[in-house]
């Protein structure tokens, strides 16, 4: 799942999957308050500049700069786990009958997504290996566009550079979330930042609507986890919310101020991944990671330009559907841009599943054999 990334310098070497739960209530500390203050300031600045997804981008940018500058921050991980289902409810609220009527048209873009994943992984891993001399294992695991936890676990198990893999994926998401809204801002002139006509005030929800949306968030999270859905923390609530909105039971959306607060929390969590990173020590790796992230976004734009006239979908929609960012982040951008979040979210879910299923197989059947590791399955650190 793209939004669950360990701190790039504290990757555990234990081969167990991280667990998710809702550890409430929150423990408020001075460092956490400082983090949220910096993130909120960043959101306000970028909102003032009328940039799309301003509250997430601003929070992420300002906390990243603070983290790299040595400011003592604390990642709002507990708060993040609580707001992810809320964002899932928001994505589900954007589903409509028109979405269902066009799902049969997604076949070609889904096929293109599979080709895109193979091209991106092959191209970026080859560049990392041949031009920047990363070993084959590290290059492949750094190039796969998603499934971060699984890729880091593979790196730890098979003696790849797990620190480099973590850093590559953390910066991949950072680059995607920062560049895609700017692409729409300067190429398409879209300046939506979450307010305007789509603004939902705090008192807009009736008690019945509020209860239904809360049930979607809590029950959807639980069902997603029980059913072991991919990206269940957001996908479960999104499914229930989509069902209620599609069925006409409610037309309500979470209040805009709540969504903005959630974006600040998510953005601050991304920025805090760079706590403890020494720019002087890891400067080269960070530049390479940023370059590879930009290359992935560029390939997404190229694929979109080819597929758009063949499928009838807009270049912007396909760019968002193929971009190597997280499901939640790209889904929020799709709402800010006025695109179909169902189309975008479905493709990102497919991407996550494809990477989780196929990347380990390719890694073991091809990458390890090329490195001469016949007994790789028995390797441990």
Identify whether the C-beta of residue 179 lies closer than 8 Å to the C-beta of residue 320: no
Structure-token pair, residue 119:
């091209």
State the maximum Cα–Cα separation within the chain, in Å, rounded to a whole number: 64
Distance between CA atoms of 56 and 157, rounded to whole angstroms? 34
Percentage of the chain lying above the pLDDT 90 cut: 38
CA 290 to chain centre: 16
**Selection from 121, 191, 212, 158 nearest residue 336 by Cα:** 191
The predicted pLDDT at position 191 comes to: 57
User: Nearest-5° angle of CA 271, CA 326, CA 235?
Assistant: 120
Domain 30-372 has CATH 1.20.1530: yes
Reply yes or no: is the peptide bond before residue 42 cis, omega within 30 of 0: no
User: Which residues fall within 8 angstroms of residue 70, CB to CB, at 6 or more apart?
Assistant: none
Query: Encoding tokens for residue 161?
Result: 């550079």
- Bond before 334 cis per omega within 30 degrees: no
Mapped onto helix, strand or coil, the DSSP state of residue 329 is helix
End-to-end CA distance of the chain: 24
| 70 three-state secondary structure | coil
Q: Residues near 72 by Cβ (< 8 Å), separated by ≥ 6?
A: 31, 34
Separation of alpha carbons 175 and 125, rounded Å = 18
Give yes or no for residue 182 having a pLDDT over 90.
no
Task: Give the pLDDT score at 196.
Answer: 42
pLDDT of residue 118: 93
Q: Name every residue whose Cβ is closer than 8 Å to that of residue 45 and which is 6 or more positions away in sequence.
A: 58, 62
The dihedral of CA 27, 33, 38, 39: what is its sign?
Answer: positive
Domains in the chain: boundaries: 30-372
Q: Report yes or no: 116 and 299 within 8 Å, Cβ to Cβ.
A: yes
Burial class (CB in 10 A: 0-12, 13-18, 19+), 68: middle
Cβ atoms within 10 A of the Cβ of 314, count? 16
Smallest CA-to-CA distance from 123 within 236, 292, 7 is with: 292
pLDDT tens per residue, range 62-115 = 999 999 999 999 999 889 888 999 999 998 887 777 777 778 889 999 999 999
Q: Quick one: tokens of 173?
A: 């998401």
Query: For residue range 222-256, what is the model confidence (pLDDT) as tens digits?
Result: 999 998 887 788 889 999 999 998 888 988 889 98
Q: Give the pLDDT confidence score for residue 248 in this predicted structure.
A: 85
Burial group, residue 318, by CB count within 10 angstroms (0-12, 13-18, 19+): buried
Q: Tell me: the pLDDT tens digits for 329-367?
A: 888 888 877 788 889 988 988 888 888 888 888 888 887
53, two tokens: 């997804």
Tokens 């609530």 identify what position?
Answer: 237
Task: Annotate 258-277 with DSSP letters as a single string.
Answer: HHHHHHHHHHHHHHGGGTT-
Instruction: Give the pLDDT of residue 190.
Output: 63
More confident residue, 237 or 371: 237
Residue 327: CB atoms within 10 A of its CB come to 27
């Amino acid at each position: 799942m793209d939004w669950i990334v360990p701190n790039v310098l504290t990757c555990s070497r234990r081969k167990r999957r991280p667990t998710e739960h809702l550890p409430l209530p929150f423990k408020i500390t001075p460092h956490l308050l400082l983090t949220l203050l910096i993130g909120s300031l960043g959101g306000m600045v970028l909102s003032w500049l009328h940039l799309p997804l301003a509250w997430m981008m601003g929070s992420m940018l300002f906390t990243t700069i603070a983290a790299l500058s040595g400011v003592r921050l604390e990642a709002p991980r507990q708060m993040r786990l609580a707001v992810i289902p809320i964002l899932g409810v928001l994505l589900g609220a954007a589903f409509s009958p028109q979405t269902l009527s066009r799902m049969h048209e997604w076949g070609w873009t889904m096929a293109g997504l599979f080709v895109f994943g193979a091209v991106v992984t092959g191209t970026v891993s080859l560049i990392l290996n041949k031009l920047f001399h990363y070993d084959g294992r590290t290059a492949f695991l750094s190039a796969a566009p998603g499934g971060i936890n699984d890729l880091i676990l593979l790196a730890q198990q098979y003696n790849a550079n797990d620190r480099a893999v973590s850093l590559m994926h953390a910066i991949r998401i950072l680059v995607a979330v920062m560049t895609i809204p700017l692409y729409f801002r300067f190429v398409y002139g879209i300046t939506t930042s979450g307010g305007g006509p789509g603004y939902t005030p705090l008192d807009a929800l009736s008690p019945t609507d509020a209860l239904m949306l809360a049930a979607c968030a809590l029950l959807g999270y639980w069902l997603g986890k029980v059913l072991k859905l991919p990206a269940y923390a957001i996908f479960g609530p999104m499914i229930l919310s989509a069902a209620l909105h599609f069925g006409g039971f409610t037309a309500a959306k979470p209040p805009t101020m709540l969504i903005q607060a959630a974006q600040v929390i998510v953005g601050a969590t991304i920025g805090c991944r760079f706590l403890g990173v020494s720019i002087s020590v890891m400067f080269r790796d960070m530049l390479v990671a940023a370059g590879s992230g930009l290359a992935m976004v560029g390939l997404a734009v190229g694929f979109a330009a080819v597929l758009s006239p063949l499928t009838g979908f807009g270049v912007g929609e396909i760019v968002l559907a193929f971009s190597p960012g997280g499901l939640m982040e790209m889904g929020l951008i799709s709402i800010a841009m006025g695109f179909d979040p169902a189309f975008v979210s479905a493709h990102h879910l497919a991407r996550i599943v494809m990477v989780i299923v196929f990347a380990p197989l390719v890694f073991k059947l091809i990458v390890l054999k090329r490195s001469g590791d016949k007994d790789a399955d028995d390797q441990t650190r």
